[in-house]
Amino acid sequence: MTKRIAVLASGRGSNFQAVIEAIAAGRILAVCVALITDNPNAYAIERAEKAGVPVLVLDYTLFPSKGAYEHALFVAMQQQKADLFVLAGYMRILGTAIVQAFPQKIVNIHPALLPSFTGLHAQQQALQYGVRVAGCTVHFVDENLDCGPIILQKCVPVLKDDDEDSLAERILIEEHKCYPEAIRLFCEDRLKITGRNVRIR
């Protein structure tokens, strides 16, 4: 059965592009029912329009408070009747009420091998720590930052002349493979969560 997915993005939306291309190619059995963005200038909007994906802009700067924005976002998410919400460069932390309303229905991708290097500038954190291997993690979203059960991880070597940009670029190549694959597994009902462990059937 075809799943309904909705994407939340704040910026260029390259992972969003990878997902909609995988759907168009038939690799993911889903329809993307909406792009929801907090940024009216996000390049992801252009990507959505080209792909025929409906766009909903909730400009964060127009809301009187974070609570007001979160309520509008919650209502918008409910209206999509999505089986899965995909965070693709969405630069805001989802409030507890939203996370609890959609348990095991929100996924995120993070440019580090969690649980290491949570939060912003993960690639820079990895370089400063001196790790030899970096990568990306697709995980379910829970109430804690970058902390939900891990679905998939991909590794890249850290090269001696890497800076934050070069490492980020190499990790992004793996993100574009890893995220559609994790979403494919979800849409095929092949993920089972037991405690912190995600089993792939």
Active site residue 121: no
Examine the pLDDT at 23 and tell me if it is beyond 90: yes
Average pLDDT over residues 132-160: 97
| Per-domain boundaries in the chain | 3-200
Written as one string, the DSSP assignment of 143-166 is: SSTT-SPEEEEEEEEPPTT--HHH
Measure the CA–CA gap between 8 and 150, rounded to whole angstroms.
19
Residue 100's nearest CA partner among 132, 127, 77, 123 is 77
Instruction: Place 1 in a pLDDT band, splitting at 50, 70 and 90.
Output: confident
Q: In the numeric block, which tokens belong to residue 180?
A: 């559609």
Instruction: Place 189 in a pLDDT band, splitting at 50, 70 and 90.
Output: very high
Instruction: Give Rg (Cα) of the chain.
Output: 16
Phi, psi of 6 (to 5 degrees): -125, 145
Among 110, 121, 139, 176, the active-site one is 110
Average pLDDT over residues 127-146: 97
CATH classification code of 3-200:
3.40.50.170
